[in-house]
Structure 1
Amino acid sequence: MKRSFILSVSACFFLVLSFSFVLSLSNPPLLGVHPLDEKYFAREVIMCKDDSKSFTRDRLNDDFCDCVDGTDEPGTSACPAGKFYCRNIGSTPQFIFSSRVNDRICDCCDGSDENDGSLNCPNTCIMGGTVEYKTDHRFSRVQDLGHLDTKQTKNGVTLDDFIQKVKGFLKVIIIVQLVIASVFVVCRIFHRCARSKRRRHR
């Protein structure tokens, strides 16, 4: 009885741990930041990229410009010199001027530049990355500033797009493995409990 209780508690703990890991994987990336810069912004104290000063992580995207070069506001329009990175998964990633963030015009095909809730931009990125989305200039504008080196593979898919797809695929594999492992552990516990009950009744 005591052993089955310990096994049940262990299984519950394993399930909670698995689901918290899955939730941590599903956290959205930092708004307006290129994937290669995510580690740069993961520190508690972050240097402005022009080395002029530093700021704490809680001042990141707080809608107040601390760095002249806009390092601290990648996801807002607070810094005039800032750049916002559109991930545009399924299409061409791009940088836009930060002045275009939350200006009520959908510049990124994934709609990430309009993130204050005042405008609902549909995700119009075309999956596969081989077809470039053509926008209707009455409602949106698309401009690549040329600051992003989007190296393309032979079939036209950008390297960033490929990396994002691989990350997504790996997340799905990890989630499936965790679910299978959780089901296996629970089934094993119930099987042992049933066997121990049968032994006691003999």
Structure 2
Amino acid sequence: MQIWRWLCLKHSFPVCFAAVSFFLLLVSSSKSPLGIHPLDAKYFAAEVIKCKDGSKSFTRDRLNDNFCDCLDGTDEPGTSACPAGKFYCRNVGSIPQFIFSSRVNDHFCDCCDGSDEYDGSILCPNTCIMGGNVEYKTEDYVSTTSHLHSTKLKEMKIGIKLEDLIQTLAGLLCNGGPNLKVQYPSNFIHVRFGFSSSL
């Protein structure tokens, strides 16, 4: 990192910008294709790639083309085209993991870095540094949504009851109820209407 600091402090902005841009270009071009473990990058770097089960070969341009050429899913690690495929989540800052490729672009953030939802239809926050890797469980999702739904219904019912109560109180007050006293259980605030000075 010291070389970048020296380069940017000693030279003009255009030189610094060009050097940093070149470095970023080198780093980004050396990345392995989406969904591939870094140790498998050399395997997928060849122009002709063999399916890991040995059944056939395919050219590099058919890698992640959203069509399953290999029965074992070797050619589609970054798409959901092959049912047997696995997608590699880098999860930088947390624990790397493989997920079933059927979970790629399924509108659920399975990788804590959000790399499995790359099509842009959903934005996944990067939660890797915050501990990430919260396992997605269907029963958790169902129980959470049903709890939220029941809570919303309760809130709606309470809101309706409060509105009815306010209307009733307003009606009683308008009908000459200066001695009206409303009391709730002890854990609620006592509300009293009236002209008397005693509580």
Measured against the shorter chain, the TM-score band is 0.5 to 0.7
Aligned residue in 2 for 1:100: 103
Residues 53 and 125 of structure 1, relative CA distance in 2, 3 Å threshold: same
Aligned residue in 1 for 2:28: 26
- How much identity, in percent, do the aligned residues show? 69
3-state SS in 2 of match to 1:77: coil
Structure 1, residues 158-177: CA drift from partner, whole Å, max 9, x if none?
Answer: xxxxxxxxxxxxxxxxxxxx
1:24 maps to a residue whose letter is L
3-state SS in 2 of match to 1:55: strand
Aligned residue in 1 for 2:65: 62
CA distance in 2, matches of 1:19, 1:133: 32
Residues 20 and 70 of structure 1, relative CA distance in 2, 3 Å threshold: same
In the alignment, is residue 46 of structure 1 matched against residue 45 of structure 2? no
Deviation at 1:20, TM superposition (A): 3.6
3-state SS in 1 of match to 2:26: helix
1:25 maps to a residue whose letter is V
Structure 1, residues 136-183: CA drift from partner, whole Å, max 9, x if none?
Answer: 758x99xxxxxxxxxxxxxxxxxxxxxxxxxxxxxxxxxxxxxxxxxx
Q: Which has the larger radius of gyration?
A: 2
Deviation at 1:24, TM superposition (A): 1.8
Aligned residue in 2 for 1:188: none
1:85 maps to a residue whose letter is Y
Deviation at 1:133, TM superposition (A): 4.4
Gaps of 5+ in 1: 1-11, 142-202
CA distance in 1, matches of 2:33, 2:53: 20
CA distance in 1, matches of 2:43, 2:54: 13
CA distance in 1, matches of 2:47, 2:35: 18
Residues 48 and 135 of structure 1, relative CA distance in 2, 3 Å threshold: closer
TM-score (norm 1): 0.55
Residues 116 and 132 of structure 1, relative CA distance in 2, 3 Å threshold: closer
CA distance in 1, matches of 2:41, 2:26: 15
CA distance in 2, matches of 1:102, 1:34: 18
Residues 20 and 102 of structure 1, relative CA distance in 2, 3 Å threshold: same
What's the C-alpha RMSD, in Å, of the aligned pairs? 2.8
| Higher RCO structure (Cα 8 Å, ≥6 apart) | 1
Task: Indicate conservation of the 8 Å contact 2:112/2:132, yes or no.
Answer: no
Aligned residue in 2 for 1:91: 94
Q: How do residues 29-178 of structure 1 correspond to structure 2 at under 5 angstroms? A: 29-126=32-129, 131=131, 133-134=133-134
Residues 133 and 52 of structure 1, relative CA distance in 2, 3 Å threshold: closer
Residues 20 and 53 of structure 1, relative CA distance in 2, 3 Å threshold: same
Deviation at 1:30, TM superposition (A): 1.5
Task: Indicate conservation of the 8 Å contact 2:94/2:133, yes or no.
Answer: yes
Task: Indicate conservation of the 8 Å contact 1:102/1:116, yes or no.
Answer: yes
Gaps of 5+ in 2: 1-13, 142-199
Task: Indicate conservation of the 8 Å contact 1:83/1:98, yes or no.
Answer: yes
